[in-house]
Structure 1
Amino acid sequence: MTVPHTSRARALVVCRDGDAIPPELHGAVIAIGNFDGLHRGHQSLIATAVEAAHRESRPAAILTFDPHPRAFFAPQASHFRLTPEPVKLKILAQLGVDVAFIRRFDATLAGTSARDFVHDLLHRQLGASALVIGGDFHFGRGREGTPAVLVELAGEEGIGVTTVGTVKDDGSAVSSSRIRAALEVGDIGTANELLGYRWFVEGEVRHGDKRGRVLGYPTANLRLDEGCHLAHGIYAVRVAVAPGEVRDGVASFGRRPTFDNGAPLLETFIFDFSGDLYGRSLDIEFIGRIRPEERFESAEALVEQMKRDEARAREMLAASRESELRSFIG
């Protein structure tokens, strides 16, 4: 099942803990999950919820949690979030979702029984009319709630439950962990195939040391989330510089070993573009990896390699136009 393509995002309502739910959004069909990545499996759940909502003339919603439960239970570990909340909300708006219910995952929620999760949260607070889940969905204290338990408890409240089958690729389930593993080695092609769209990041352009301008390659610099484990290297990218304006480019993500070996930074050279982007938020989607990050003996040697990187990026970007992969930027 695929999600119908919409040419532009609808107005997505976000309801957090304690927020009043607008009356017109009561009785929603709710897909439940962490939805990190919003990959093809997640999109199948959401499409099922959207289609059911349309049939019943009800709102389509998702229920998700922040922080990710894994980050709550292991706060000392670095968690690679594929879609930080601003990115997640942009995608949800384009998938036809009317409302995103975001609940804080804390000790109270972690200790909630399966029965109270259904009665207090899903029924009393959110007023769900129907639920959509994946076959591996667990909920409640100690993960005591299973899909079968949800069907029973939700049925007591008059709430229907639809369980969506696993989406597979090459015989294995499409999962956030598989996508993280691909990105950690720079395998953009596999990551994008599992996502069903081109992975992208969002960030504010900040001032740097202006070294790229001196080298003839001025860049827009973004600091990504500290937990981002994207492999350091050079990438062919596309950049949404303004609504409806997407430009090709080449980006370096890493520590700049030729110069300072500093904190990881995404530095993007946008082809055929001039303008002041400082302080603006950019969406940058990844098309493919050109090479790993490396140290050069001189700035001149680096510039020569950058010219080759630019040429290769242009080739990759031209070839990618034949792809049927979806883009959520621009």
Structure 2
Amino acid sequence: MKIIENIAEYLDAEGLTMSLGMFDGVHRGHQEIIKKLKKYTESEKLESALLTFWPHPRVVLQADAELKLLNTLEEKLQLLEQFGIEKVFLQEFNEEFRNLSGEEFIQQILLEKMKMKHIIIGYDHHFGKNKSGNFELLKKMSLEYDFEVEQTEAVLENEIAISSTKIRNALASGDIQTANLFLGYSYPLSGKVVAGKQLGRTIGFPTANLEVASIKLLPKNGAYIVEVEVDHTLHKGMLSIMTNPTVGGTSQTVEVYLLDFNQDIYGKTITVRFKDFLHEEIKFESIEKLIDQLKLDRQLTEQYFQNH
């Protein structure tokens, strides 16, 4: 997959079949667009492309917004490549770009710079200043500029339209199963293993403390069943997102315990994939009660992997 960070310098004369948007999560709705793009590229011998943004437009438009995303930029690019996109135009959502009207955006960016021949957009997608660009504008301009336009329907699950917002809401409530169902894969979280308080080591449950990107959305505080990838090998694990109230903690930490694992992984970047929710954050009366709960969590984790 080729990444183009400066559209102004893009000189390829070959036409593109493309889509545009934030594609946060690259969820099943996004995947449906990508499937249509790939089908069209095969029949028309065009390259598939996506124009996406970084940072998120809401971060620029609402400077005080504490927006957390389903994907870091690296994760999103990996997913887009995995699903078969050939070119990604990575556009900074700056002042100049945000002031383009929908019509200017189509003319100056999609047609003049990117040589668009065919575009597929989501059922509710808008673009350009004041959301002036939409399917109707594309359809109207396609008659004059000779390109094709297609709009996808919402992808439904139990009559609910899948969206990045609904996935964020599911994660915020600890509903991992719904989030994963809407994503089409297990929600990932990557982080560098850093030194912690090492309490787990003293009670027989040594954990890896993860340093996570500040933009990444964490599920609600609590304990989770996870799959852990270390050096391309998968392991069973339990993960906690909490403030460690039992030992007087106040700041949020992300700690993962790998079952049947005793390697030194300090300084390594590992990836966890959320499988299920175990329980809310608990303040225990004693360390002994904490150990009892960890033993029960381990038993439930083992049972989960036996059944899946």
Bin for the TM-score computed over the shorter chain: over 0.9
Q: Is 1:318 paired with 2:306?
A: yes
Q: Is 1:199 paired with 2:180?
A: no
Which position in structure 2 is the counterpart of 1:234?
223
Q: Is 1:82 paired with 2:47?
A: no
Of 35, 38, 58, 1:50 maps to 38
Of 132, 154, 160, 1:144 maps to 132
Q: Please, which runs of 5 or more residues in structure 2 have no aligned partner?
A: none
CA pair 208-180 structure 1, distance change in 2 beyond 3 A: same
Asked if structure 2 preserves the Cα contact closer than 8 Å seen for 1:223 and 1:264, the reply is: no
Asked if structure 1 preserves the Cα contact closer than 8 Å seen for 2:226 and 2:239, the reply is: yes
CA pair 219-156 structure 1, distance change in 2 beyond 3 A: farther
Spell out the pairing of 1:214-253 with structure 2 (5 A cutoff).
214-226=202-214, 228-243=217-232, 245-253=233-241
Which position in structure 2 is the counterpart of 1:324?
none
Which position in structure 2 is the counterpart of 1:326?
none
Q: Which amino acid aligns with 2:25?
A: G
Q: Is 1:15 paired with 2:4?
A: yes
Of 288, 294, 297, 1:306 maps to 294
Query: Partners of 2:251 and 2:14 in 1: how far apart?
Result: 46
Query: Partners of 1:261 and 1:17 in 2: how far apart?
Result: 45
Q: Is 1:131 paired with 2:119?
A: yes
Q: Which amino acid aligns with 2:197?
A: D
Spell out the pairing of 1:135-214 with structure 2 (5 A cutoff).
135-214=123-202
Which position in structure 2 is the counterpart of 1:254?
242
TM-score (norm 1): 0.87
Q: Please, which runs of 5 or more residues in structure 1 have no aligned partner?
A: 1-11, 322-330
Q: CA deviation at 1:14?
A: 1.6
Asked if structure 1 preserves the Cα contact closer than 8 Å seen for 2:8 and 2:113, the reply is: no
Q: CA deviation at 1:160?
A: 1.5
Which position in structure 1 is the counterpart of 2:19?
31
Q: CA RMSD in A?
A: 1.8
> How many residues in Structure 1 have an aligned counterpart in Structure 2?
307
Query: Partners of 2:122 and 2:263 in 1: how far apart?
Result: 46
Q: CA deviation at 1:240?
A: 1.2
Query: Partners of 1:119 and 1:206 in 2: how far apart?
Result: 49
Asked if structure 2 preserves the Cα contact closer than 8 Å seen for 1:249 and 1:268, the reply is: yes
Query: Partners of 1:46 and 1:83 in 2: how far apart?
Result: 17
Asked if structure 1 preserves the Cα contact closer than 8 Å seen for 2:29 and 2:155, the reply is: yes
Q: Which amino acid aligns with 1:297?
A: E
Cα deviation digits, residues 246-300 of structure 1 (max 9, x gap): 1111110111111242322211111122222222222210000000111112222
Secondary structure of residue in 1 paired with 2:149? strand
TM-score (norm 2): 0.93
Query: Partners of 2:277 and 2:218 in 1: how far apart?
Result: 14
Of 99, 107, 131, 1:119 maps to 107
Query: Partners of 1:300 and 1:75 in 2: how far apart?
Result: 46
Q: CA deviation at 1:21?
A: 4.1
Secondary structure of residue in 2 paired with 1:261? coil
Query: Partners of 2:63 and 2:235 in 1: how far apart?
Result: 38
Asked if structure 2 preserves the Cα contact closer than 8 Å seen for 1:17 and 1:102, the reply is: yes
CA pair 152-167 structure 1, distance change in 2 beyond 3 A: same
